[in-house]
Amino acid sequence: MAMPLRQSLRLGGYLLKQKLLRKEKFPMLVELEPLFACNLKCAGCGKIAQPAHLLKKRMPVEQAIGAIEESGAPMVSIAGGEPLMHPQIDEIVHQLLQRKKIVFLCTNALLLPKHLHKFTPHRNFAWMVHIDGLRERHDESVSKVGGFDGAVDAIKQAQRAGFRVLTNTTFFDQDTPQDVIEVLDYLNDDLKVDNMQISPGYAYEKAPDQEHWLGVEQTRELFKKAFADGRRKRWRLNHSPIFLDFLEGKRDLRCTAWGIPSYSLLGWQRPCYLLDDGYVDTYKQLIEETDWEAFGRGRDPRCANCMAHCGYEPTAVIATMGSLKETIRAAVSS
């Protein structure tokens, strides 16, 4: 199964509008990082490696909303750091929803029970909980015993309170196809989350652990085996069918990093949240002053092993909307 129909329709309408306006580059989703601090120390995370003065900073609400408004993106994924450590995170979510944005609040969920009362279920709002595997694997990934049980308890509380809950799982080179199958079966069938997102781990520059990342061939092999026997269709994955084809090596895509830009305390990050080629103050500067043709596999050696959602899902979405056959395929699998 692919991304929810409501989300697909909203994105489809937005893409059509960009086409009519003859806009060549436009954001589909902004990764908003209103802080870098976190309550965990995951092995693969470079956000928490920022200097102490940045870890103490919190983005003012007006700055966060202003950046999203300037970009015009229809969807916002709020990450960090741990967004629930931002004292006005509920206000940021509230103001984005007022502006009819689709909002995902990414969290490791350990602080979720304490803050749940500040939020109200909304058809355009979902929690996106970071789950990197079943109990032992997740606890190892987040370097915390009890991390998995805490996250699962928080998901159940949010579900009971009527919220939509999605999960985001990153796979590394020690994960086998069976690991992928077991965690997605658990999230899909036992925990019954609304949708799951998956990502092959990529060794971005600031990540302290540079050893356990997947190469392109490893990624294709991993997902080809995990998706076999009709499992891919059964899982409620929050991805377009073309992106899933790409992950399992059925087709190749070019990176479209401008489709999912990243805005943090440092500004708009060039060219994507994985690379760090400097920051600019406005979305307009990001689009106009970045040499987008210089990035992607085969063009920048740092991109050689990247198959990340932020670079390739926008390509897949544009390819879907540009083909009647693919649009029908995406709609049927929603």
Nearer to ligand SF4, 33 or 124 (CB): 33
> Of the ranges 13-21, 55-63, 268-276, 277-285, which one interacts with ligand SF4 (CB under 6 A)?
268-276
| Per-residue interface string for the shown chain with ligand SF4, residues 116-145, x marking contact by CB under 6 A | --------------x-----------x---
Are the CB atoms for 100 and 62 separated by under 8 Å? no
Report the residue closest to ligand SF4, judged by CB.
311
201 makes contact with ligand SF4 (CB under 6 A): no
Least separation in angstroms between residue 247's CB and ligand SF4 is 14
Nearer to ligand SF4, 226 or 303 (CB): 303
Can you tell me which of 93, 198, 257, 317 binds ligand SF4, judged by CB under 6 A?
A: 257
108 makes contact with ligand SF4 (CB under 6 A): yes
The interface with ligand SF4 within residues 278-317 (CB under 6 A) comprises 295-297, 300, 303, 306, 308, 310-311
48 makes contact with ligand SF4 (CB under 6 A): yes
What count of other Cβ atoms lies within 10 Å of the Cβ of residue 267? 17
Can you tell me which of 4, 34, 74, 81 binds ligand SF4, judged by CB under 6 A?
A: 81
> Of the ranges 35-43, 94-102, 227-235, 313-321, which one interacts with ligand SF4 (CB under 6 A)?
35-43
Can you tell me which of 38, 102, 128, 265 binds ligand SF4, judged by CB under 6 A?
A: 38
Alpha carbons within 13 A on the beta-carbon side of 44: 23
Least separation in angstroms between residue 96's CB and ligand SF4 is 20
Least separation in angstroms between residue 107's CB and ligand SF4 is 8
272 makes contact with ligand SF4 (CB under 6 A): yes
Nearer to ligand SF4, 169 or 238 (CB): 169
Can you tell me which of 42, 105, 196, 330 binds ligand SF4, judged by CB under 6 A?
A: 42
**Full 3-state SS string of the chain:** CCCCHHHHHHHHHHHHHHHHCCCCCCCCEEEEECCCCCCCCCCCCCHHHCCHHHHCCCCCHHHHHHHHHHHCCCEEEECCCCHHHCCCHHHHHHHHHHCCCEEEEEECCCCHHHHHHHCCCCCCEEEEEECCCCHHHHHHHCCCCCHHHHHHHHHHHHHHCCCEEEEEEEECCCCCHHHHHHHHHHHHHHCCCCEEEEEECCCCCCCCCCCCCCCHHHHHHHHHHHHCCCHHHHCCECCCHHHHHHHCCCCCCCCCHHHCCEEECCEEECCCCCCCCCEECCHHHHHHHCCHHHCCCCCCHHHCCCCCHHHHHHHHHHHHHCCHHHHHHHHHCC
Chain residues binding ligand SF4 by CB under 6 A are 38, 40-42, 45, 47-48, 80-82, 108, 130, 142, 255, 257, 271-272, 274-275, 295-297, 300, 303, 306, 308, 310-311
